[in-house]
Structure 1
Amino acid sequence: MKFQLLLITLVFAFSLYLFAIVDADPASDRAALLALRLAVGGRILLWNTSAASPCSWTGVFCEKDRVTRLRLPGMGLSGTLPLGIGNLTELQTLSLRFNAVNGSIPPDFVNLVNLRYLYLQGNFFSGQIPEFLFNMQNLVRLNLAHNNFSGEISPSFNNLTRLDTLYLENNNLTGAIPDLNAPPLGQFNVSDNKLTGPIPARFSHLDASAFEGNSLCGEPLQACPGTGTDSGSKLSGGAIAGIVIGSLIGLLLILLILFFFCRKKSSGDNQLKDTATVKRADVEIPAGNIARDSGNAGASYSATAKGDARSSGTMNLVFFGKVSKVFDLEDLLRASAEVLGKGTFGTTYKASIEIGVVAAVKRLKDVTAPEREFREKIEEVGKMVHENLVPLRAYYYSRDEKLLVYDYMPMGSLSALLHGTSPSGRTPLDWETRSGIALGAARGIAYLHSQGPSNSHGNIKASNILLTKSLEARVSDFSLAHLALPTSTPNRISGYRAPEVIDTRKVSQKADVYSFGIMLLELLTGKAPTHSLLNEDGVDLPRWVQSVVQDQWNTEVFDMELLRYQNVEEEMVKMLQLALECTAQNPDKRPSMDSVASRIEEICHSTLEKEEEKDYQTFKDAEDGFSQQYHSTDSTGPPPSA
């Protein structure tokens, strides 16, 4: 019986082995990629799945019909990684950086025995760094920065004897830094974690920025306590007793003060509870309501909306499509609110509804269209669905109030990221991220134009390009120019408005192209369109750029942050040339948005190919160096490091 059981076990194990061998082929590569596409979506949904081979898909690179490199940076991926990626057994480079992938790293990653480069930074991975990573002996570069990894840094990193680069910054790692003595790390960063204790001596030559944002000591930071001569610095018993007594007295005083203020506050609450207000973004917002305009003293718009809705016999929001109607107008009016900004057509609020839903609510001002036309236009807007548009979920119309409900974009606008108007300050944007934002915005606007010759955005600017957590572009405020008069400074003064536009309600697609070109220049130069207007003679942004580059393409025109990426200078120049074409004075000389999107996509692919070639060449150089060291070393000795 035991012999039969052993035989069955051996047959089963051998079958699994044969299955693994059969499964490790081009077909299994394709199946693994399709599973990834289904799980995390993003721009890889555009893969042509009817093609028999995945080698032509964006970000997929093959050798001898096997996938060897998978690069999907900033592709809008979200969700958790599925099992199956481990079937890409010939994979050498995997880049999923700057997406919104969460959860843990799948355990079948351990099957990626040929993996050299693993880039997972800029996502939402969580949990401890999995132990199976330490069995991936061929890893040369590992970047897990800007995630939510927790736990301690394992000394098992010493198992990765070929590791040269280890980036773990901006996580939630705790404990001490282990003495990683096996791999002679060339690049190492653990800044902005929760690490404690001394820095191992072997890292003392690194820059202090690699360790900042922790509770660490030792070179290159300040010396650890007790490492120097401290015989004269010890406190006596009397001094310690004095400190303890003083601390207790101070604590009692603090408690008495808190008790006094709490009594005062409770007596005042009874007088103020009916008139309590919440002040946010310099606007008085009545507690429990969405908001009221700072120029409309006395009543919130929610009260106006309620009264008007009751008089007309309806209290309903009008939702679009198959969206689950998890809240109604009453819920929206009771929501706590925060002013996000005052735009061309009204004020936008972040509404936190009691059931846990967060939405962006735009309160339109000076709507000129009559009710029937307004509803018809808004219905058209609600039907526009594209991955690069901010979807309109619902609207409310009454005589005195017009509300639009959109998805809330947590990363704010491109303008805030470029010019530091967000609460967290200016966010550095690399070339890959900027070009990806430009491509997403171009695709969104091109889709709007594809809906008919009379369809235009009418108000393209950096503050209307909103961003997802993975910094994917979403175009907002589209098609509102046909419904309302601008309530803020006209676009001509802000620098985006095409020279031929006189009536802001009659903006053509070519005028949209001009505005998009201005936004491209803003993305490349880092300068807002209004910046150049402060110069002599009121020179606008396109003319300022032309005056700088003159007869040759001068790199001084680019944002300082972009000058670090010298390997993509050609791509930056191409993007700059395209932006200047878009801002041609003659509308007929401007390209169509469809053409603009195609050209930006070509530029992005060129950048991607260069990055791939750079990584691949680095890998080849490391391989050659490894081979030379191996053949010049006694094979019985320790394995050489790459």
Structure 2
Amino acid sequence: MKFQLLFTTLVFAFSLYRFAIVGADLASDRAALLALRSAVGGRSRLWNLSATSPCSSWTGVTCQNNRVTRLRLPGMGLSGNLPLGIGNLTELRTLSLRFNALTGPIPSDFVKLVNLRNLYLQGNFFSGQIPDFLFNMQNLVRLNLAHNNFSGEISPKFNNLTRLVTLYLENNHLTGIIPNLNATPLNQLNVSGNNLNGSIPERFSRLDASAFGGNSLCGEPLQACPGTGTGTGTGTDSGLSGGAIAGIVIGSLIGIVLILLLLFFLCRRKSSRDKEPKDTAPAKHAEVQIPVGNTARDSGNAGATYSATAKGDARSSGTKSLVFFGNVNKDFDLEDLLRASAEVLGKGTFGTTYKATLEMGIVFAVKRLKDVTAPESEYREKIEEVGKVGHENLVPLRAYYYSRDEKLLVYDYMPTGSLSALLHGSSPAGRTPLNWEARSGIALGAARGIAYLHSQGPNISHGNIKASNILLTKSFEARVSDFGLSHVALPTSIPNRVSGYRAPEVTDARKVSQKADVYSFGIMLLELLTGKTPAHLLNEEGVDLPRWVQSVQDEGNTEVFDTELLKHQNVEEEMVKMLQLALECTAQYPDKRPSMDVVASKIEEVCHSNVEKEDDKEFHSFKDAEDGFSQQYFSFDSTGPPPSIEN
């Protein structure tokens, strides 16, 4: 009896010890995730910190046996350098941080991720050489470092990764040769768009030629290398004849003579120009200075008209100075702002916006308001309210300036521009910002920003929601701009009704309800999905965007989506759900439209369902890769047992 009691006690004690160890490991995982959240932000800031365990509700986090095994945060608006601490997720098997705006090197403690099978870091701004510690992560099966800024050579140490099946390194700044990687079961390789040279190893000769384009490479599957008879080109292995050599020499001499003649001609031309009288007319410049008031800015006398002494928070109506909000750097004043080089970003509903670059290198967006109807006291009160609004999906107002003649608003500058420009203009070079992940993320961010505005009171609305007022950060996170301005200024450009955004019940631009905001957001959502400009449809076909979508669907035609989105067939279900939500938002009667918090919640559900689908897709691709590795392993001449393969 005593022995049985002792045994039971020991089992219970061991269970408590094991529970404590598991709990400590999960606590370590949670701490690592919080460090990541603090460093790179994005939509990871929406994790519910009140939850003790990250396994149940944190987006992108998957657990097994109470440990984090998968962390997937693709297109989540993460930016900045990855912190140390991710290496503490020692049970991690898949890490996907693709399509964000992460910078700097890969943290050195990644070497502790000994169980990692899949590492997806493509579509960021990582730089430096591919670190040596990656070659110690011998369980890696898939490694994708494409579309970054990695430099240096492709190390032959990739041979250490004896389970590696996929290696994508395209569109970086890699140099040197492609080493022989015969110790790996590698069958998926892409090194295109780098600065590589030399011959392609024979083991990769059966890959598609696109895997090697944009380099100075030769050999199968590209053209033959000089002096060989291999490759898809027409090269021969015979030496040059004496006649060919003589022809090359003569051609070279003629080329040198032509170059000398050209240099002589250019020198003569430059000499004659130097003797001509100088043109004293000022050259046109792409940059303009922000005009202020009726002062003679060109005379350099602006300082005599406006005091530039306010680096504090002076708010008296008689003070001609900048009034700052929040924690903005106050090491500049009005005069610094007026001296800044500026370029016009666009003319919007309430005035012209400039990109202002101060002499110290700081960049802001400055909006010059026109037709301000509110008296000074009311204007200051309203703008003060706007300055106090803070949310990660709203463009923060950093300062303002008021005088009888000029009203300036100083905002954070959004480097990627507006959603409208990306949808209907040219995409940034080297990026594909408007895939489904980017668009759904933009929709979610904008919805959350507007929902936050509506939560401040039943009578608070935006009043001017449209694609050109959805600005984007470097990581394509949505920031809603121009909120609060409809209460202090009259529109100076095309009214929203003409441009297709205004709800049918709105008759006064200064009196827009929250349900009218929902309508405008629904139009923007349809624009995001279809790629159609609401104003274009009104002008060309005389029909608004919701009725056009509905008519296309009624005719049995499902091709309402932007052609760019049609390339992503695996998200068709999510696209249809988003389209239906947009049509609900644009219902003719306001009481039929959902509230913005409901809209944000539904978009989040769509985004989560896509993440779960991608999880399943990556899991199956991982299993396929493991199976392929197993088959290839036994095809090699190996005397030892195969490494353990996780089921």
TM-score normalized with structure 1 length: 0.87
Q: Letter of the 2:266 partner, please give it.
A: I
**Over residues 577-634 of structure 1, what are the superposed CA-to-partner deviations in whole Å (9 max), with x where a residue is unaligned?**
0000000011110000010001101111111011011111222333345556768988
Q: Structure 1 residues 209, 625: closer, same or farther in 2, change over 3 A? A: closer
Is 1:391 matched with 2:401? no
2:512 to 507, 512, 522: 507
User: What is the CA–CA distance in structure 1 between the aligned matches of 2:466 and 2:299, rounded to whole Å?
Assistant: 29
Is 1:548 matched with 2:552? yes
**Over residues 56-108 of structure 1, what are the superposed CA-to-partner deviations in whole Å (9 max), with x where a residue is unaligned?**
21211001101110011222222222222112111111011122222111122
Q: Structure 1 residues 242, 632: closer, same or farther in 2, change over 3 A? A: closer
Secondary structure at 1:374's aligned position in 2?
helix
Aligned to 1:401: 406
How big is the shift at 1:331? 0.7
1:519 to 505, 524, 528: 524
Is 1:336 matched with 2:333? no
User: What is the CA–CA distance in structure 1 between the aligned matches of 2:349 and 2:426, rounded to whole Å?
Assistant: 17
Aligned to 2:362: 357
Structure 1 residues 46-125: aligned runs within 5 Å: 46-56=46-56, 57-125=58-126
How big is the shift at 1:195? 2.5
**Range 252-261 or range 410-419, more displaced:** 252-261
Q: Structure 1 residues 421, 210: closer, same or farther in 2, change over 3 A? A: same
The answer to whether the 8 A contact 1:630-1:640 is kept is: no
Secondary structure at 1:268's aligned position in 2?
coil
Q: Letter of the 1:583 partner, please give it.
A: T
How big is the shift at 1:371? 1.2
Is 1:44 matched with 2:44? yes
1:477 to 470, 473, 482: 482
Q: Structure 1 residues 426, 154: closer, same or farther in 2, change over 3 A? A: closer
Aligned to 2:285: 278
Is 1:572 matched with 2:584? no
Aligned to 2:313: none
The answer to whether the 8 A contact 2:351-2:368 is kept is: yes
**Range 497-506 or range 585-594, more displaced:** 497-506
Is 1:443 matched with 2:448? yes
The answer to whether the 8 A contact 2:349-2:491 is kept is: yes
Q: Structure 1 residues 504, 302: closer, same or farther in 2, change over 3 A? A: farther
Aligned to 1:4: none
Aligned to 1:15: none
How big is the shift at 1:384? 0.7
Q: Which ranges in structure 1 are unaligned for 5 or more consecutive residues?
A: 1-20
Aligned to 2:12: none
User: What is the CA–CA distance in structure 2 between the aligned matches of 1:526 and 1:425, rounded to whole Å?
Assistant: 21
The answer to whether the 8 A contact 1:291-1:302 is kept is: no
The answer to whether the 8 A contact 1:113-1:137 is kept is: yes
Is 1:244 matched with 2:256? yes
**Over residues 385-413 of structure 1, what are the superposed CA-to-partner deviations in whole Å (9 max), with x where a residue is unaligned?**
11001111111111111111111111111
Q: Letter of the 2:516 partner, please give it.
A: A
1:378 to 383, 386, 397: 383
Q: Which ranges in structure 2 are unaligned for 5 or more consecutive residues?
A: 1-20, 229-234, 309-316
> How well do the aligned residues superpose, as a CA RMSD in angstroms?
3.0
How big is the shift at 1:260? 4.5
Is 1:539 matched with 2:543? yes
Q: Structure 1 residues 138, 319: closer, same or farther in 2, change over 3 A? A: same
1:615 to 607, 614, 618: 618
The answer to whether the 8 A contact 2:80-2:101 is kept is: yes
Q: Structure 1 residues 205, 528: closer, same or farther in 2, change over 3 A? A: farther
User: What is the CA–CA distance in structure 2 between the aligned matches of 1:448 and 1:359, rounded to whole Å?
Assistant: 23
User: What is the CA–CA distance in structure 2 between the aligned matches of 1:576 and 1:388, rounded to whole Å?
Assistant: 22
Identity, % of aligned positions: 76
The answer to whether the 8 A contact 2:165-2:625 is kept is: no
Q: Structure 1 residues 191, 176: closer, same or farther in 2, change over 3 A? A: same
**Range 225-234 or range 595-604, more displaced:** 225-234
How big is the shift at 1:547? 1.3
The answer to whether the 8 A contact 1:85-1:109 is kept is: yes
Secondary structure at 1:188's aligned position in 2?
strand
The answer to whether the 8 A contact 1:190-1:210 is kept is: yes
Structure 1 residues 277-316: aligned runs within 5 Å: 277-279=284-286, 285=288, 289-290=289-290, 309=306, 314-316=319-321
Q: Structure 1 residues 222, 332: closer, same or farther in 2, change over 3 A? A: farther
Aligned to 2:176: 175
Secondary structure at 2:356's aligned position in 1?
strand
Q: Letter of the 2:89 partner, please give it.
A: L
**Range 185-194 or range 82-91, more displaced:** 185-194
The answer to whether the 8 A contact 1:363-1:402 is kept is: yes
Secondary structure at 1:341's aligned position in 2?
strand
The answer to whether the 8 A contact 2:367-2:410 is kept is: yes
**Over residues 146-185 of structure 1, what are the superposed CA-to-partner deviations in whole Å (9 max), with x where a residue is unaligned?**
2211111112223223222222222221222333334354
Q: Structure 1 residues 571, 301: closer, same or farther in 2, change over 3 A? A: farther
Aligned to 2:5: none
Q: Structure 1 residues 564, 31: closer, same or farther in 2, change over 3 A? A: same
Q: Letter of the 2:126 partner, please give it.
A: F
Aligned to 1:17: none
User: What is the CA–CA distance in structure 2 between the aligned matches of 1:162 and 1:258, rounded to whole Å?
Assistant: 63
The answer to whether the 8 A contact 1:40-1:77 is kept is: yes
User: What is the CA–CA distance in structure 2 between the aligned matches of 1:364 and 1:249, rounded to whole Å?
Assistant: 58
Q: Letter of the 1:131 partner, please give it.
A: D
How big is the shift at 1:460? 0.9
How big is the shift at 1:477? 1.1
Q: Letter of the 1:248 partner, please give it.
A: L
Aligned to 2:7: none
Secondary structure at 2:382's aligned position in 1?
helix
Q: Letter of the 2:610 partner, please give it.
A: T
How big is the shift at 1:313? 6.7
How big is the shift at 1:501? 1.3
Q: Structure 1 residues 641, 529: closer, same or farther in 2, change over 3 A? A: farther
**Over residues 4-60 of structure 1, what are the superposed CA-to-partner deviations in whole Å (9 max), with x where a residue is unaligned?**
xxxxxxxxxxxxxxxxx9998222212221222222222222222332222121211
How big is the shift at 1:110? 1.4
The answer to whether the 8 A contact 1:305-1:400 is kept is: no
Q: Letter of the 1:36 partner, please give it.
A: L
User: What is the CA–CA distance in structure 2 between the aligned matches of 1:109 and 1:182, rounded to whole Å?
Assistant: 23
Aligned to 1:5: none
Is 1:464 matched with 2:465? no
Q: Letter of the 1:463 partner, please give it.
A: S
How big is the shift at 1:354? 0.4
How big is the shift at 1:425? 10
User: What is the CA–CA distance in structure 1 between the aligned matches of 2:200 and 2:271, rounded to whole Å?
Assistant: 44
1:268 to 272, 278, 282: 278
The answer to whether the 8 A contact 1:175-1:196 is kept is: yes
User: What is the CA–CA distance in structure 2 between the aligned matches of 1:397 and 1:391, rounded to whole Å?
Assistant: 18
Q: Letter of the 1:543 partner, please give it.
A: R
How big is the shift at 1:521? 0.8
User: What is the CA–CA distance in structure 2 between the aligned matches of 1:361 and 1:479, rounded to whole Å?
Assistant: 16
How big is the shift at 1:532? 2.3
Question: How many residues are matched?
Answer: 605
How big is the shift at 1:262? 5.6
